[in-house]
Amino acid sequence: MDPEIFKNSPTGSLAITEHSQFAFVPDELPPRGIQNDAIINRLSDANIQLGELKGAGRNFPNPYLLIRPLQRREAVASSNIEGTHTTLSDLFLLEAGASEAKRPPDTREVMNYVSALEYGIKALVDLPISTRMITEMHRILLSGLPKTRGGSIVPGEYKRNQNFIGGTTLSTARFIPAPPQEMSRLMGNFENFINSDLALRMPALLLAAITHYQFETIHPFPDGNGRVGRLLVPIILKHRGALDEPLLYISPYIEERKDDYIAGLYNVSKTGDWNGWIDFFLQIIEKTCRNTIRTIQKLHDLNIEYLGKVQKARRSALLGKLIDWCFEVPYITIRGVEKYLDISYLSARNHIKTLEAAGILSEYPYSKKPKIFVAWEIYEILETM
Could you count the other beta carbons within 10 Å of the beta carbon of residue 155? 22
Range of the domain at 249: 3-293
Same-domain status, 225 and 319? no
Per-residue pLDDT at 104 = 62
Q: What is the CATH number of the domain that holds 65?
A: 1.10.3290.10
Question: pLDDT at residue 39 above 90?
Answer: no
Same-domain status, 26 and 102? yes
Same-domain status, 207 and 112? yes
Same-domain status, 252 and 319? no
Asked whether residue 30 is domain-assigned, the answer is yes
| Total count of domains within the chain | 2
Asked whether residue 185 is domain-assigned, the answer is yes
**Residue type present at position 261:** Y
Length of the chain: 385
Per-residue pLDDT at 107 = 77
Asked whether residue 189 is domain-assigned, the answer is yes
- 245-287, pLDDT tens digit by residue? 888 888 888 888 989 999 999 999 999 999 999 999 999 999 9
In DSSP terms, 332 is beta-bridged to 373
Same-domain status, 273 and 328? no
- 106-165, pLDDT tens digit by residue? 777 788 888 998 899 999 999 899 999 999 999 999 887 766 555 557 889 999 999 999
Prediction pTM value: 0.89
Question: pLDDT at residue 293 above 60?
Answer: yes
Contact between 327 and 69 (Cβ < 8 Å): yes
Asked whether residue 301 is domain-assigned, the answer is no
Q: Average pLDDT for residues 19-33, to the nearest whole number? A: 91
Same-domain status, 322 and 284? no
Domain boundary among 241, 264, 293: 293
Average pLDDT across the chain, whole number: 88
Percent of the chain residues topping a pLDDT of 90: 56
Domain boundary among 258, 293, 328: 293
Same-domain status, 55 and 171? yes
Question: pLDDT at residue 38 above 80?
Answer: no
Question: pLDDT at residue 217 above 90?
Answer: yes
Asked whether residue 306 is domain-assigned, the answer is no
Same-domain status, 335 and 258? no
- Print the SS3 string covering the chain: CCHHHHCCCCCEEEEECHHHCEEEEECCCCCCCCCHHHHHHHHHHHHHHHHHHHHHHHHCCCCHHHHHHHHHHHHHHHHHHCCCCCCHHHHHHHHHCCCHHHCCCHHHHHHHHHHHHHHHHHHCCCCCCCHHHHHHHHHHHHCCCCHHHCCCCCCCCCCCCCCCECCCCHHHCCECCCCHHHHHHHHHHHHHHHCCHHHHHCCHHHHHHHHHHHHHHHCCCCCCHHHHHHHHHHHHHHHCCCCCCCCCCCHHHHHHCHHHHHHHHHHHHHHCCHHHHHHHHHHHHHHHHHHHHHHHHHHHHHHHHHHHHHHHCCCCCHHHHHHHHHHHCCEECHHHHHHHHCCCHHHHHHHHHHHHHCCCCEECCCCCCCCCEECHHHHHHHHCC
How many angstroms separate the Cα of 150 from the Cα of each of 161, 231, 260, 305, 379? 14, 19, 27, 45, 31
Q: Which of 76-90, 257-271, 339-353 has the lowest mean pLDDT?
A: 76-90
Asked whether residue 62 is domain-assigned, the answer is yes
Domain boundary among 260, 293, 326: 293
Same-domain status, 163 and 52? yes
Same-domain status, 185 and 330? no
Per-residue pLDDT at 182 = 95
Asked whether residue 309 is domain-assigned, the answer is no
Same-domain status, 93 and 162? yes
Q: What is the CATH number of the domain that holds 321?
A: 1.10.10.10
Same-domain status, 273 and 338? no
Per-residue pLDDT at 101 = 43
Higher-pLDDT residue of 333, 244: 333
Asked whether residue 145 is domain-assigned, the answer is yes
